[in-house]
Amino acid sequence: MIRDRGAIKWTAMMLPEHVKILRDWAEEDMYQQKPELDEQQIEEMNGTLCQAMEEGKELMITHYEGKHHKLLLGTIHHYDDLQGRLHIIDKFGEAHYIPTNMLIDLRLSD
Question: Would you list the domain boundaries of the chain?
Answer: 39-108
Residue 10: which pLDDT band, with cuts at 50, 70 and 90?
A: low
- pLDDT at residue 5 above 80? no
Laid out side by side, the sheet with 95-99 consists of 95-99, 85-90, 68-80, 59-65, 103-108
Mean pLDDT across the chain, nearest whole number? Answer: 87
Across 61-88, average pLDDT: 92
* CA dist., res. 23 & res. 3, Å (int): 25
The CATH number of domain 39-108, selected from 2.30.30.520, 3.40.50.1950, 1.10.3720.10, 4.10.640.10: 2.30.30.520
Cβ pair 98, 61 in contact under 8 A: yes
Provide the β-strand partners of residue 90: 74
Do the bridges between strand 103-108 and strand 68-80 make them parallel or antiparallel, or are there none, so unpaired?
unpaired
- pLDDT at residue 1 above 60? no
* CA dist., res. 54 & res. 15, Å (int): 59
Give how far the C-alpha of residue 68 lies from the chain's centroid of Cα atoms, to the nearest Å: 5
Across 5-18, average pLDDT: 70
pLDDT at 94: 94
C-beta neighbour count of 85 within 10 angstroms: 18
Which is higher by pLDDT, 30 or 104?
104
- pLDDT at residue 76 above 60? yes
Across 37-41, average pLDDT: 92
C-beta neighbour count of 19 within 10 angstroms: 13
- pLDDT at residue 43 above 80? yes
